[in-house]
A and B are shown apart, each in its own frame.
Chain A
Amino acid sequence: MKYTEGPEIQDTKAPSGPIEDRWEKRKFGAKLVNPANKRKLNVIVVGTGLAGGSAAATLGELGYNVKSFCYQDTPRRAHSIAAQGGINAAKNYRGDGDSIYRLFYDTVKGGDFRARESNVYRLAQVSVNIIDQAVAQGVPFAREYGGLLDTRSFGGAQVSRTFYARGQTGQQLLLGAYQALERQIAAGTVEMFTRHEMLDLIVADGRARGIIVRDMVTGEIERHVADAVVLASGGYGNVFFLSTNAKGCNTTAIWRAHERGAYFANPCYTQIHPTCIPVSGEYQSKLTLMSESLRNDGRVWVPKVAGDSRPAGEIPEADRDYYLERIYPAFGNLVPRDIASRAAKNVCDEGRGVGPGGLGVYLDFADAINRLGREAVEKKYGNLFEMYERITGENPYETPMRIYPAVHYTMGGLWVDYDLQSTIPGLFVIGEANFSDHGANRLGASALMQGLADGYFVLPTTLGDYLAAGPFGEVSDEAVAEAEIKVRTRIDRLMAVNGTRTPDSFHRELGKLMWDYCGMERTEESLRKALERIPELREEFWRDVKVSGTAEELNQVLEKAGRVADFFDLAELMCLDALIRTESCGGHFRAESQDAEGEALRDDEHFAHVSAWEFSGDGPVLHKESLEYEYVKMTQRSYK
């Protein structure tokens, strides 16, 4: 795939000065919109997860006219709901040495020095307000007998700063945001559009001014215009077909915005989560995560010798290799996700994997049950154990869980500045859909933190600064009509192919290819193969896909086909991005770039930058944003 290099890009909104004052400075510098004007300003928010739901609710509370869109039947279904483990906050309620600075430091280091210091510091600052907000909403966090909030440890941290609600933290936080959103819907500040899918962005006079959506029940194509558009449409992990994402998660909203001019940053940064239930067969439709919190008490091991086929219970201690504890004594089972995932892959590659196909490692709770008692373990992890048993038919109280890494989160996303604004004025991107805070690897319990930080606290301030110059007047009919025709043409094209393969069969093949060639380990050879194969498969898709039914009704095959078509284009950019980043960093592991012990080897001299891709008909254009570290010294990460 051909690409060219364009001028460097800069985050012009990031304030200078001492890092702890920057957000305060930006907030004070941001223009305000007077209350009477707010109701004349229209904002569209796409997606109702933690970021989108909290943003729409908060913008409604502030008095803006908000339209909120989701593809599900109600905003409460967004996939944030499936986050299990918890949410980080620098409250230091335990007095164990935590601080805003330490959360900032851990996050920059955990992201393998590929995130912006200013953004991460702000995230750590705002984290404390999120917990306050959620508690005030009635989110039932776990508590201790004294009535205060309980916390636990998560990967990549040596303090206990993760707040949780059993294994359903995402659900409880999302329902808090959903309830705030429903309150605003009742108040009339937010108009809700469920079962609507965004299919294009309207850009007029250089500003994002609206979206084209399809009503998924009637098939009707609708136009919605506004003064600003906020995308909170989540990540693109489903490009791999098998992932822990919900089935509906897709890249369409951000990809279409990318085609309209929003730069796509670091598409190759994908997170492979170490503790998922292994694949059981060809028919598998998705993978299920087992919360990272399990690594607090579960011990990861495989047999010492390859080919040891004894059942777990018959393998004596002496023949077990607790490899994370052995290789990383300081962090043990709590090393960051990228490291734990790759370690699992390595032992499986050595033939020491367990379960069908040898693609699994044990996560063993026997010691925890002996130490704490079954009841205590059940209290902490009961619902996760039940979930495991329901899916596998095995009882984890008696035999160790089998786990294997799976695609879970995408750190890449649309490029945004400190204000969370993309390269298209008026288009803001929040939550997993943007690229901003996690660098090359996200720490556990930080996605909930970022989504809510963006939605409740950051966007409502920075969006106001943009809207203070509005309203921006009528949107030219030409721009709206052009976007609508583009959407209609594409749907007609998909309907007209009438080939012999289902959208799912193409998606599976693309996903397999991405997992094999652009997954946990990438090489120049594998990426070149992918870049050769993706266009061929895409060509076959457009020649041979079969979409049944009509476009004027509820048609889940058509929905799927449109999303798969965008995944092809994204997959190509991911592989290109992975190919030219010849270093290893965080979740991006290039086999050519590792140290003597097999750890990821960064190349700070050539790659301490964000790769922001501009869409162009002649092939993508690369813009680099250089990353500077004033506070956290760039070092090789060590969890030993």
Chain B
Amino acid sequence: MNLTLRVWRQSGPSAPGKMVTYRVEEVSPDMSFLEMLDVLNERLILSGDDPVAFDHDCREGICGMCGMVINGVAHGEQRATTTCQLHMRHFEDGATITIEPWRAAPFPVVKDLVVDRSAFDRIIQAGGFVSVPAGSAPDAHSIPVRKEDADDAFDAATCIGCGACVAACPNGSASLFTAAKITHLSLLPQGQPERLTRAKAMVDQMDAEGFGGCTNTGECTAVCPKGIPLDTIAQMNSDYLKAN
């Protein structure tokens, strides 16, 4: 396959950015999207150009580090798939592919396609945990959990913190990310003592970081590589209202 890439290049947080066009040839359909970018970067390095900076690590869809807007869609058009798991067999030979970073004010660009997502950590810091110091836990079987609750909690807990939900949202809202953690812990008996204070603190922190509000457009769940359900946001709102 031969492709034309239009890639967002920006040398630093305060530098102006622009789209730059590259040709990439002899791409195998079995390559992952990031392997295709590796090919481009190897060439750029040798020609003395700056390779395209992008975040990535596990390359198996679970660490949440990679993420780019591909042809206008966070992680590309393939559903429930991170950028690293997207394979070139889903693109046409001769296609032009536009690649941009996550765009949201609370996610400033660090370089090229790399953005700063530390706001997510601060939302977790506000209350996304159960306060249980090591060594203080009772026997695991002392608290049975309904299988349905455990399964639903798991579904919410699979969030990888990639930030695609924010990038896709017209309001730049982090509601799906925040709600996923609130829902995970709200559904379990272990999460009950801090349930309402957690919801309030996390939502307040999300607002303080400058993320927008949720207007139920559902773009977030559509691009979420783990398919976090939209109704987690209802759970978050419910807990938040009770807390106030």
Contacts and interface: CB of A to CB of B under 8 A. Distances in A.
Interface stretch (A3-11, A197-205, A410-418, A500-508): A500-508
A132 B147 contact: no
Interface stretch (B46-54, B165-173, B211-219, B233-241): B46-54
A45 interface: no
Contacts of A82: 58, 60, 62-63
14 contacts: A136-B138, A148-B144, A165-B157, A171-B160, A179-B124, A180-B132, A182-B128, A217-B110, A283-B35, A285-B32, A387-B61, A390-B61, A456-B134, A553-B12
Given A54-B134, A58-B133, A77-B64, 8 more contacts: A61-B133, A133-B134, A138-B185, A182-B124, A286-B59, A289-B60, A456-B134, A549-B50
Contact of B141 (A93, A179, A283, A286): A93
A131 interface: yes
Contact of A132 (B32, B58, B140, B150): B140
A136 B137 contact: yes
Interface stretch (A139-147, A327-335, A434-442, A622-630): A139-147
Contacts of B64: 76-77
Contact of A135 (B34, B45, B190): B190
Contact of B150 (A93, A143, A171): A143
Interface string A53-69: 01001100100000000
B57 A557 contact: no
B150 A141 contact: yes
Contacts of A246: 57-59, 63
A165 B154 contact: yes
Given A137-B190, A557-B45, A129 B137 contact: yes
B129 interface: yes
Interface of A: 54, 57-58, 61, 72-79, 81-82, 91, 93, 129, 131-138, 140-149, 165-166, 168, 171-172, 175, 178-180, 182-183, 185-186, 192, 194, 217, 244, 246-248, 280-281, 283-286, 288-289, 386-387, 390-391, 393, 456-457, 460, 500, 502, 504-505, 546, 548-549, 553-554, 556-557
Nearest to B162: A77
Contact of B137 (A61, A132, A149): A132
Contact of B65 (A73, A185, A554): A73
Nearest to A186: B125
Contacts of B12: 553
Given A247-B57, A387-B61, A143 B134 contact: no
A67 B85 CA distance: 33
Given A143-B150, A147-B144, A548-B45, A72 B65 contact: yes
CB-CB nearest 7 A-B residue pairs? A147-B144, A136-B137, A179-B129, A140-B154, A186-B125, A132-B137, A135-B140
A166 B147 CA distance: 13
Contacts of A182: 121, 124-125, 128-129
B55 interface: yes
B51 A548 contact: yes
Contacts of B244: none
A159 B166 CA distance: 45
Nearest to A79: B58
Interface of B: 11-12, 28, 30-32, 34-35, 38-39, 42, 44-46, 48-51, 53, 55-65, 78, 80-81, 85, 87, 89, 110-111, 114, 116-118, 120-121, 124-126, 128-141, 143-147, 150-151, 153-154, 157-158, 160-161, 184-185, 188, 190-191
Given A79-B58, A553-B12, A554-B111, A136 B154 contact: no
Contacts of A504: 38, 42
A166 B157 CA distance: 12
B138 A137 contact: no
A569 B187 CA distance: 50
A546 B128 CA distance: 44
Contacts of A131: 140
Contacts of A179: 124, 128-130
Most chain B CB within 10 A, of A75, A186, A289, is at: A186
A283 B39 contact: yes
Contact of A180 (B53, B126, B129): B129
A172 B136 CA distance: 19
A212 to B, nearest CB: 22
A386 B110 CA distance: 33
A457 B135 contact: yes
Given A129-B137, A138-B190, A144-B147, A185 B55 contact: no
A138 B153 contact: yes
Nearest to A557: B45
A315 to B, nearest CB: 24
B44 to A, nearest CB: 7
Contacts of A61: 133-134
Given A91-B140, A140-B157, A74 B120 contact: yes
A74 B134 contact: no
Contacts of A393: 30, 87, 89
B73 to A, nearest CB: 16
